[in-house]
Chains A and B, each alone.
Chain A
Amino acid sequence: MPDIQEITVDDLKHLVSERAIQGETVLLNMGPQHPSTHGVLRLLLELDGEIVVSCVPDIGFLHTGIEKNMEAKTYQKAEVMSDRLDYMNTVGNNLAYSMAVEKLVDLDVPPRAQAIRVILAELTRFQSHLVWLGTSALDLAAMSMFLYCFREREYILDVLEMCSGQRMMTTYIRPGGLWRDVPVEFEAAVRNILKTFPKRVDEYEALLTRNPLMLDRTYGIGKLTGEECLNFGVTGPMLRASGVKWDLRKNRPYSGYEQYEFEIPTRTEGDVYARYLVRLEEMRQALRIVEQALDKLPMGAVRSNNHKYVPPPRSEIGVSMEALIHHFKLWTEGFNAPQGSIYTAIESPRGELGVYLESDGGPKPYRIHWRTPSFDNLSSLPLMSKGVLVADLVAIIGSVDIVLGDVDR
């Protein structure tokens, strides 16, 4: 390859201020293994005493080439990679991918499958926010929050395991519907969650919301205005904490979200504390959506009957020649998607999770791009961290809710 890029110290001098070159400020590496960076994020900090002069994020330590890998797999097989992107929002990734494929090939999804998708996506949102709450509170030295949050998270992972056999990497939502119907114990398990969790959220609030230490560490820290958020591509709870009421579930509804009543919590402060309040309220709203979806869960099929794209049920294969042919063709060469390109986006726990999918008419995605929310949210970190204390930077990173698998893909 002709273009090897040699990097010299001079090439990197523009990243820090003149004072760092003269030795007035200190350059400090934070990461890639610092526990509070939630993964393998490296920050190059320029410090004046304890004040951050500039912060240069260095990402890519968890780059796994998922986009390239997906291009080499058929549409069904590529989906398995999507779980590994944002490993806190696996169901959401499956949903985004399945919606993209369904849009590309114009595939119908039965109403029961759509409702189950919503239930699982919202439970995953809750679960993801639990992990965020536990870890970011841990950063602020609230050790017990971590234990409480992970205790509750197990209930949700149990539901995912019950449906798909996997706790995290579910691949349960498939193009055209679901892998299979939910088991009979599903409803009781979700009802149990709906009964116990609202009280638990109140408990978290009792522990943190009026906690003077929490307020000291988070109030007025890491401010972003709504305009800055949009300019940096920041979406999700961070955007809503800055006063912009933008949620794809409400504004551009998908998968039947328009049937459910829920609020979009917003705050205007745009600081770490506002993001905390927004996410906590989102957890309550997620339970509200789950309850409504479960109450009116329709009966019927969970997979499309279009067997050109969706494998027929196992029971049909023994009795129907067509079903056998479809099964064989779908699991060997896959299906050919029509030529074209589409972009679909869903509201993941972190923001707009978009899939750009282009097909050349063959059985593999010609190009698939994941617009991952953490990537853009993290890019606003240099702006947020200007002039803060190092200890506050830890709180800010926690409030971004990055998942490095989502950043690095």
Chain B
Amino acid sequence: MEDKLQPIIGKLEKEFGGTACEYRGEVSLTIPAEKIVAACQQLHDLGFELLSALTAVDYWPQEAPRFHVIYQFTSVTSNLVLTLRVPVPGINPSLPTVSHIYRSANWRERELWDMFGIKFQGHPDLRRILMPADWEGHPLRKDYPLGYEEPQFTFNFEEINQRKPYAKE
């Protein structure tokens, strides 16, 4: 662990009750969902100006927690990186938004809603971003099949066309 990161981790651990772990030189801290806004605010004030990435992992069929939401922070001024992980349950997955602290979270949270179905409370504009607005399901969940398209030829074009899923009119 980098020396400059040590006090920050200690502070976060004390305040938010998380547990820090290190893997291949990267420090990640797991904190409970209700404290994420306060933690983000704290990190923003500590000089982590950049929310580099915001993503999630689905551990289906495990239910509690089914998801981990991962916040990747970068401090440009002190050249540090830090990861926060937030476990989210599978039933009605939701988290408070951090888009008022990091505006880059706006689109990233929309992406997580789109791909994982995790709701972000207080988000100003929670719509699908990559998939069409009327899409069913959340593609990056592990229980969502990868899917394929049946090749259509002249002799079976009509037959396949009938059962082929289309976006609704």
A60/B136 contact (C-beta < 8 A), A342-B26, A379-B104 known: no
Q: Does A408 contact B (CB under 8 A)?
A: yes
Structural contact, B102 and A6, CB atoms closer than 8 A: no
A343/B58 contact (C-beta < 8 A), A4-B136, A60-B129 known: no
A140 to B129: give the CA distance in the assembly, Å.
Answer: 29
Structural contact, A59 and B53, CB atoms closer than 8 A: no
Structural contact, B139 and A68, CB atoms closer than 8 A: yes
Which residues of A have CB within 8 Å of B79? 251-252
Structural contact, A366 and B134, CB atoms closer than 8 A: no
Per-position 1/0 for B39-52, Cβ under 8 A of A? 00000000001111
Residue of A15, A235, A340 touching B23 (CB-CB under 8 A): A340
A343/B76 contact (C-beta < 8 A), A15-B125, A367-B58 known: no
A251 to B75: give the CA distance in the assembly, Å.
Answer: 11
Which residues of B have CB within 8 Å of A379? 103-104, 106-107
A-side interface mostly = mixed
Size bracket of the A interface: 35 or more
A68 to B148: give the CA distance in the assembly, Å.
Answer: 12
Residue of A nearest to B139 (CB): A68
Q: Does A109 contact B (CB under 8 A)?
A: no
Per-position 1/0 for A54-96, Cβ under 8 A of B? 0000011001010111001000000000000000000000000
Structural contact, A376 and B107, CB atoms closer than 8 A: yes
Structural contact, A376 and B104, CB atoms closer than 8 A: yes
Considering the complex, which residues of chain B in the window 1-38 have a beta carbon less than 8 Å from any beta carbon of chain A?
23-24, 26, 28
Measured CB to CB, the closest approach of chain B to A233, in angstroms, equals 3
Structural contact, A67 and B53, CB atoms closer than 8 A: no
Structural contact, B50 and A230, CB atoms closer than 8 A: yes
Which residues of A have CB within 8 Å of B134? 4-7
Residue of A nearest to B80 (CB): A252
Residue of A nearest to B50 (CB): A230
Q: Does B132 contact A (CB under 8 A)?
A: yes
Give me the interface of A with B, judged by CB distance under 8 Å: 1, 3-7, 11, 14-15, 59-60, 63, 65, 67-69, 72, 103-104, 106, 227, 230-235, 244, 246, 251-252, 340-343, 345, 352, 354, 356, 358, 366-367, 369, 371, 375-376, 379, 408-409
A366/B26 contact (C-beta < 8 A), A4-B136, A63-B130, A65-B139 known: no
Structural contact, A1 and B131, CB atoms closer than 8 A: no
Structural contact, A63 and B131, CB atoms closer than 8 A: yes
Which residues of B have CB within 8 Å of A235? 50
A352/B129 contact (C-beta < 8 A), A68-B139, A232-B104, A371-B72 known: no
Residue of B nearest to A58 (CB): B129
Considering the complex, which residues of chain B in the window 35-86 have a beta carbon less than 8 Å from any beta carbon of chain A?
49-53, 55, 57-58, 70, 72, 74, 76, 79, 81, 83
Structural contact, A341 and B129, CB atoms closer than 8 A: no
Measured CB to CB, the closest approach of chain B to A245, in angstroms, equals 9
A12 to B57: give the CA distance in the assembly, Å.
Answer: 29
Structural contact, A7 and B133, CB atoms closer than 8 A: yes
Q: Does B91 contact A (CB under 8 A)?
A: no
Considering the complex, which residues of chain B in the window 106-157 have a beta carbon less than 8 Å from any beta carbon of chain A?
106-108, 115, 117, 124-125, 127-137, 139-140, 144, 146
Measured CB to CB, the closest approach of chain A to B166, in angstroms, equals 14
Which residues of A have CB within 8 Å of B23? 340-342
Q: A68-B139, A343-B52 are in contact. List 15 more A-B contacts (CB 8 A).
A: A3-B136, A5-B133, A5-B135, A59-B130, A68-B144, A69-B146, A106-B24, A231-B104, A233-B104, A233-B108, A342-B23, A343-B26, A343-B81, A367-B58, A369-B55
Which residues of A have CB within 8 Å of B57? 341, 358, 366-367
Structural contact, B130 and A60, CB atoms closer than 8 A: yes
Measured CB to CB, the closest approach of chain B to A66, in angstroms, equals 11
Measured CB to CB, the closest approach of chain B to A364, in angstroms, equals 12
A103 to B26: give the CA distance in the assembly, Å.
Answer: 11
